[in-house]
């Protein structure tokens, strides 16, 4: 008798779990930049990316769910290196500092230089989902990214060069917080918007920048104070991206 009761309980529990458990696939386009201390001074711009993967959702009740994912996150970030150098060097381009017009061509090329940082991560988000109203939901949680590719492409005077960012210049693990909202179009299709704010630097910007571009006019890692123009030698490079995507729950 006990065995029959236990078996019946297991069958009921399995049915309830299966009913509350879903598996799906997601795809999202993204747009983002690097954020943190002093990034506004170095002319860091925005760049496109994408995020694809699978999700597993367990619904505790109609208003609350837990979602864990596994995916691939590709990020691109544009750096207007020329504008940065122009901001730094223009105050010193006078005869008082020994500047000569013979350097005009070189300076012009320098002022038009650009660089693009590219990253690829194995993405592991874990979020809590709240449904304050039918079909609408709010997400909040954490995201862990494991870096598998980091490179920088510099372009100057019509020439392009791509280099891998060395392991000593990047963080293998990237931690972030996630916030978002969305709408369930049907029981199987969700449309969502998410914002991701990094808590750790993706790379050591000073090292990565100096290895890919000409010298940044004497900036040093040992400097711990602002120079005369108000620039700091320390720059953050934390992930900040916005995703717009769709999830299809196929199970």
- Count: domains in the chain: 1
Q: Which pLDDT does position 61 carry in this prediction?
A: 94
Q: Which pLDDT does position 173 carry in this prediction?
A: 97
Share of the chain above pLDDT 90, in %: 59
Give the residue among 16, 57, 50, 17 at the shortest CA–CA distance from 188: 57
Q: Which pLDDT does position 105 carry in this prediction?
A: 62
Neighbours of 212 (CB within 10 A): 19
Span 76-132, pLDDT tens digits: 999 987 888 777 777 666 666 566 665 566 666 677 788 999 999 999 999 999 999
Lookup: tokens for 168: 């000593």
CA angle 26, 28, 33 (to 5 degrees): 140
The Cα diameter of the chain in Å comes to 100
Is 196 inside any structural domain?
A: yes
Q: HSE, CB side, 13 Å, CA atoms: give it for residue 111.
A: 12
Is 15 inside any structural domain?
A: no
Q: Which pLDDT does position 213 carry in this prediction?
A: 67
Is 6 inside any structural domain?
A: no
Q: Which pLDDT does position 4 carry in this prediction?
A: 45
Weakly modelled stretches of the chain, pLDDT under 50: 2-6, 8-17, 216-232
What is this structure's pTM?
A: 0.81
Is 14 inside any structural domain?
A: no
Is 17 inside any structural domain?
A: no
Alpha carbon distance 120, 156 (integer Å): 24
Q: Which pLDDT does position 16 carry in this prediction?
A: 44
User: For the domain that residue 81 is a member of, what is the CATH number?
Assistant: 2.40.160.20
Is 76 inside any structural domain?
A: yes
Q: Which pLDDT does position 93 carry in this prediction?
A: 67
Lookup: tokens for 71: 């995916």
Separation of CA 53 from chain center: 16
Is 8 inside any structural domain?
A: no
Q: Which domain holds residue 219?
A: 22-246
Q: Which pLDDT does position 91 carry in this prediction?
A: 67
Give the residue among 216, 204, 210, 209 at the shortest CA–CA distance from 85: 216
Is 110 inside any structural domain?
A: yes
Mean model confidence pLDDT for the chain: 83
Q: Which pLDDT does position 170 carry in this prediction?
A: 94
Q: Which pLDDT does position 232 carry in this prediction?
A: 46
């Amino acid at each position: 008798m006990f065995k029959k009761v236990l078996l019946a309980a297991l069958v009921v529990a399995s049915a309830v779990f299966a009913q509350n458990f879903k598996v799906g696939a997601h795809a999202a386009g993204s747009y983002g930049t690097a954020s943190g201390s002093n990034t506004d001074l170095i002319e860091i711009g925005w760049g496109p990316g994408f995020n694809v993967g699978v999700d597993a959702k367990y619904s505790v009740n109609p208003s609350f769910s837990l979602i864990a994912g596994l995916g691939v996150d590709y990020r691109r970030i544009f750096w207007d290196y020329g504008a940065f150098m122009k901001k730094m060097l223009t105050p010193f381009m006078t005869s008082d500092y020994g500047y000569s017009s013979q350097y005009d061509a070189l300076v012009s090329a320098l002022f038009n230089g650009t660089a693009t940082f590219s990253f690829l991560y194995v993405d592991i988000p874990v979020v809590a989902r709240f449904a304050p109203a039918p079909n609408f939901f709010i997400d909040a949680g954490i995201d862990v990214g494991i870096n598998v590719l980091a490179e920088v492409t510099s372009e100057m005077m019509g020439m392009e060069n791509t280099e891998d960012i060395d392991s000593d210049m990047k963080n293998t693990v990237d931690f972030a917080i996630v916030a978002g909202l969305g709408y369930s179009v049907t029981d199987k299709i969700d449309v969502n918007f998410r914002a991701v704010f990094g808590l750790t630097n993706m790379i050591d910007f000073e090292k990565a920048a100096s290895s890919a571009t000409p010298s940044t006019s004497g900036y040093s890692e040992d400097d711990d104070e602002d120079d005369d123009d108000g620039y700091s030698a320390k720059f953050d490079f934390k992930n900040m991206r916005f995703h717009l995507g769709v999830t299809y729950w196929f199970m």
